[in-house]
Amino acid sequence: TADDPETLRRIAVEVARDAGRLVARRRPEVFGPRGAAADAVQSKSTRTDPVTVVDTEAEHRVRELLRTYRPDDDVLGEEGGGAVRAPSGVRWVVDPIDGTVNFLYGLPAYAVSVAAQVNGTSVAGAVEDVVGRRTYAAARGGGAWVSEDGGDWVRLSVTDVDDVSMALVATGFGYGAARRRRQGEVVSGLLPRVRDLRRVGSAALDLCMVAAGQVDAHFEHGLSPWDWAAGALVAAEAGAVVRTPSPHSRSSDGEVTVAASPGVAAAFSALLDELGALDPIAED
Ligand code: IPD
């Protein structure tokens, strides 16, 4: 049917790749080889939370394409305000640039994230690694896949690590000061107990890195739905044990997102619990 996960996945891939090409083309046009044009950047939740003209353009493009392919669906985008209840029951959850700070500085880790959700659960999604020219995609029940440079799809699977003290863990930090202070405390407890930590700067890519076996686990407090909606499905379909915020939580509720290879998932959760990291860290 028109709403089956495979069909939605194909649309997610098409849309994420198209927006990814726009983001890749516009970065040198707007920012040049380095440095940021001040008038192309504004702040959002805090002074250090940026949004650029390219985020806005890319979201516009995604909305335009989705309107063409799926006129009866709802779209919730990071830069686009609220969502309405659509007749189809499908809601697209879109981050036009996940990793905007990396984008701004020209660090090569930012992505377009496009997911289709039904009742707050992701059924299909794609994450386009813009600089790496890699598309990650999944449909519920259909496995997780990656395609390099538009080439053949290769199936992804998580690592078989079985000792949490050997786990490479990716994490990220929100923009608010209070949350960061608590996230720093959690990290200081975690760092001596795992192999090492990575802070790549794009939660969508962190989750795809779990799927691809490039890290063993990821966790972060206070992600918004557009940060995790596609990546969490990719990780789960690659075999990760995944926990996402409840469907109606807001990023300000500070719920935790966790994805881990199955051999360390229970021990990693226990460790996060011991460090108080499974509880929400809300902004004050
Ligand atoms: C951010 C990235 C980052 C994470 C932040 C997110 P944005 O998304 O995913 O890795 O640590 O919490 O807000 O703002 O670049 O779309």
The residue ranking higher by pLDDT, 159 or 247, is 159
* Rounded mean pLDDT, 173-197: 95
Q: In the chain, how many domains are there?
A: 2
Q: Give the pLDDT confidence score for residue 39 in this predicted structure.
A: 67
User: Is 198 found in the same domain as 147?
Assistant: no
Helix axes 262-274, 177-190, angle to 10 degrees: 120
Q: Give the pLDDT confidence score for residue 81 in this predicted structure.
A: 58
Other CB atoms within 10 Å distance of the CB of residue 68 = 10
The three-state (H, E, C) secondary structure of 32-55, written as one string: CCCCCCHHHEEECCCCCCEEEHHH
Q: Which numbered atom of ligand 1 lies nearest the CA of 203? A: 9
How far apart are the C-alpha atoms of 79 and 164, rounded to whole Å?
37
* Rounded mean pLDDT, 247-275: 94
Q: Give the pLDDT confidence score for residue 86 in this predicted structure.
A: 74
The yes-or-no verdict on residue 13 having pLDDT over 70 is yes
* Rounded mean pLDDT, 266-279: 96
Q: Give the pLDDT confidence score for residue 252 in this predicted structure.
A: 85
CATH code, 115: 3.30.540.10
Is 239 near ligand 1, meaning CB less than 6 Å away?
A: no
User: Is 115 found in the same domain as 207?
Assistant: no
Closest Cα partner for 169 from 264, 98, 100, 95?
264
Is 99 near ligand 1, meaning CB less than 6 Å away?
A: yes
- Measuring from atom 13 of ligand 1, which residue has the nearest CA? 174
Domain assignment present for residue 281? The answer is no
Question: How distant is the alpha carbon of residue 17 from its chain centre?
Answer: 15
How far apart are the C-alpha atoms of 173 and 198, rounded to whole Å?
11
Is 227 near ligand 1, meaning CB less than 6 Å away?
A: yes
Q: Give the pLDDT confidence score for residue 84 in this predicted structure.
A: 65
User: Is 107 found in the same domain as 30?
Assistant: yes
The yes-or-no verdict on residue 224 having pLDDT over 80 is yes
Is 174 near ligand 1, meaning CB less than 6 Å away?
A: yes
- Measuring from atom 12 of ligand 1, which residue has the nearest CA? 174
For the chain, counts of helices (H) and of strands (E): 7, 14
Q: Which of 155, 172, 192 is the last residue of a domain?
A: 155
Is 95 near ligand 1, meaning CB less than 6 Å away?
A: yes
* Rounded mean pLDDT, 161-168: 98
CATH code, 257: 3.40.190.80
Domain assignment present for residue 88? The answer is yes
- Measuring from atom 11 of ligand 1, which residue has the nearest CA? 172
Is 109 near ligand 1, meaning CB less than 6 Å away?
A: no
Give 131-142 pLDDT, tens digit per residue.
999 999 999 999
Is 172 near ligand 1, meaning CB less than 6 Å away?
A: yes
32: alpha, beta or left, given left = phi > 0 and alpha = psi -120 to 50?
left
Provide the percentage of residues in the chain whose pLDDT is more than 70: 95
Cα of 26 vs centre of ligand 1, distance in Å, is: 20
Q: Give the pLDDT confidence score for residue 82 in this predicted structure.
A: 57
**Domain limits at 60?**
5-155
Q: Which numbered atom of ligand 1 lies nearest the CA of 110? A: 15
Q: Give the pLDDT confidence score for residue 42 in this predicted structure.
A: 85
Task: Write the burial class of residue 147 (CB in 10 Å: 0-12 exposed, 13-18 middle, 19+ buried).
Answer: middle
> Helices in 53-121 by DSSP H: which ranges?
53-69, 100-105
Q: Which of 155, 180, 212 is the last residue of a domain?
A: 155
How far apart are the C-alpha atoms of 248 and 93, rounded to whole Å?
13
Closest Cα partner for 259 from 223, 276, 251, 226?
223
Domain assignment present for residue 111? The answer is yes
User: Is 116 found in the same domain as 183?
Assistant: no
**Residue reference for tokens 């849309």:** 15
Most ligand 1 atoms within 8 A of CB, residue of 23, 43, 93, 98 to mutate: 98
Cα of 105 vs centre of ligand 1, distance in Å, is: 14
